[in-house]
Structure 1
Amino acid sequence: MTSKDLLWKEIYNSIKREIVLNKYKINKKLDSEGEYAKQFNVNRHTIRRAFKELKNDNLIYSKRGLGVFVKTSKINYSISKNVRFTENILEENKSVRIEIKSFDIAECNLFEKKELNLNKKEKVTRINSIGYINNSPSVITFRSIPHDRFPKFINHFVKKQSVTKAFNLLNVKKIIRSKTLISAEISDKIKSNLLNIDVGKPLIKTTSINVDFNKTPIELSESYFDGSKIQILVKV
């Protein structure tokens, strides 16, 4: 391997690392060939060679006269009878973690009462969280869990960062998706800040009811997915 090969590969690996670690937003314009040439103290041909390999890896794309931009393939999020967000993303060979932004315990509202089949004034545990895929904020989720039946749910969810594992520890061995409504929304300022996207970008919204083996509702969730990163795959 020549020194020239080492140079372009070093630059290629450097830019690729920053893209994979989500240092850039999707569709973010990269520096020009000239700017990278100055940064790495090489000629433009070397930068062009690195860009070519990044395009072959489907990580960047170019617009004639405008420059080079970051490209990311979408992740399939499967909706089926089984509820497995963490496992679902891991199957896509992506890292996943959940950050709990807030939670509280309160009397159920009319929507929660209806969907979770609760009595008036029964309490729910409400949990607001962000799901990170490859360290990039990708989904906002608002959950409501029947508190009287599962008073310890939040404790297990904090430790396990998995709805399935939290319920398993509460003797719910199987969670079944009863129904999911899929719709679209435009991102407002709050959601845009949480997902690190521009205001007005499309979001995929899912509203789901999950039940236990006896078909008793145990979770109501509303999720907002970054439409530039995730696509919904419905399995029947």
Structure 2
Amino acid sequence: MSEIERGRGIALWSQIGEILAEDILKGRLRQGDQLPSAQELAARFDVNRHTVRRAMAALEQRNLVRTEQGRGTFVQEQTLDYAISKRTRFTQNMRNLNVEADIEILEDAREIPPTQVAEALGLGRSEYVYRIDTLSHADGHIVDHSTAYFPAMRFPGLPEVYRRLQSVTRTLSEFGVNDYVRKHTRVSARLPEAATAKLMKQLPNRPVLHVQSINADPRGMPVQYGITRFSGDWVQLILMADD
């Protein structure tokens, strides 16, 4: 099928979707390629842009394309299988996948944490934490927006160490915590907050994988409470059996 056929009883948007899907599945459009704009496709098929948008929405539902706010529509790449296990480490996960990755530090602060965070870390009502917000990138794409909390009294000056080392594992090791394990993980799918959607450059009606976690040292004392919002378009979470 190369062009649409009018009067054959199949909606025009459906025909357009099938043509583009065939281009993707047969490799004429490759992973990561940008599709022509709605205006260009409307001109190609001699239809209005609303018809093109319906076709693109159908392709998104089939996970063949993704839309990036302000950039356009792209052929969907293969998702990353992100392993969550007793010893989850971002850098090691990316290395296992042979993916180039980096972490961008957005902000850090010393503050009184929300009640849920304080309870998870076993802190009193007036005890401080360090909060660090980051964006993780893999192969040039934003994988997640994370917020990590660390007990400030136990880890004085932690943000400066983290900025220097760019690694939670190496940072905690500087404070004598040479190993830590995942004590608790809770995963849910939810719509991102407006700030997260903007940071991750995704539409606010696209769900993220929301992961809340607690890491503890070998004595069972919590050392980190984390909230990670993974891109639902890029990441597939794999829950592993205990090591």
Does structure 2 retain, via aligned residues, the 8 Å contact 1:188–1:200? no
For 1:100, the equivalent position in structure 2 comes to: 105
Query: How big is the shift at 1:142?
Result: 0.8
Instruction: Give the match's secondary structure for 2:170.
Output: helix
Query: Would you say 1:29 and 2:35 are equivalent positions?
Result: yes
For 1:91, the equivalent position in structure 2 comes to: 96
TM-score (norm. length: structure 1)? 0.71
Query: How big is the shift at 1:83?
Result: 2.7
Does structure 2 retain, via aligned residues, the 8 Å contact 1:83–1:175? no
**Superposition pairs of residues 119-138 of structure 1, within 5 angstroms:** 119-138=124-143
Q: How far apart are the structure 2 equivalents of 1:192 and 1:137?
A: 11
For 1:167, the equivalent position in structure 2 comes to: 172
The residue type equivalent to 2:123 in the other structure is L
Q: How far apart are the structure 2 equivalents of 1:196 and 1:96?
A: 18
The residue type equivalent to 1:109 in the other structure is P
Does structure 2 retain, via aligned residues, the 8 Å contact 1:30–1:70? no
Query: Would you say 1:230 and 2:235 are equivalent positions?
Result: yes
Instruction: Give the match's secondary structure for 2:169.
Output: helix
Where has structure 1 moved over 6 Å in runs of 4 or more? none
Q: How far apart are the structure 2 equivalents of 1:100 and 1:212?
A: 24
Higher mean C-alpha deviation, range 158-167 or range 138-147: 158-167
Q: How far apart are the structure 2 equivalents of 1:161 and 1:154?
A: 10
Q: How far apart are the structure 2 equivalents of 1:196 and 1:127?
A: 20
Change (3 A) 1:70 1:127: same
Q: How far apart are the structure 1 equivalents of 2:207 and 2:198?
A: 14
Q: How far apart are the structure 2 equivalents of 1:190 and 1:144?
A: 19
Pick one of 105, 112, 115 that aligns with 2:117: 112
Does structure 2 retain, via aligned residues, the 8 Å contact 1:83–1:164? no
For 1:203, the equivalent position in structure 2 comes to: 208
Q: How far apart are the structure 2 equivalents of 1:154 and 1:123?
A: 13
Instruction: Give the match's secondary structure for 1:173.
Output: coil
Instruction: Give the match's secondary structure for 2:118.
Output: helix
For 1:186, the equivalent position in structure 2 comes to: 191
After superposition, the CA RMSD in angstroms is 2.4
Does structure 2 retain, via aligned residues, the 8 Å contact 1:180–1:208? yes
Does structure 2 retain, via aligned residues, the 8 Å contact 1:30–1:69? no
Q: How far apart are the structure 2 equivalents of 1:186 and 1:169?
A: 36
Pick one of 75, 78, 85 that aligns with 1:73: 78
Size of the aligned set, in residue pairs, is 183
The residue type equivalent to 1:29 in the other structure is L
For 1:64, the equivalent position in structure 2 comes to: none
Query: How big is the shift at 1:151?
Result: 1.1
Instruction: Give the match's secondary structure for 1:210.
Output: strand
Does structure 2 retain, via aligned residues, the 8 Å contact 1:187–1:203? yes
Unaligned runs of 5+ in 1: 1-14, 36-59, 62-67
Q: How far apart are the structure 2 equivalents of 1:144 and 1:91?
A: 26
The residue type equivalent to 1:213 in the other structure is P
Query: How big is the shift at 1:69?
Result: 4.9
Does structure 2 retain, via aligned residues, the 8 Å contact 1:189–1:199? yes
**Superposition pairs of residues 215-226 of structure 1, within 5 angstroms:** 215-226=220-231
Q: How far apart are the structure 2 equivalents of 1:185 and 1:210?
A: 23
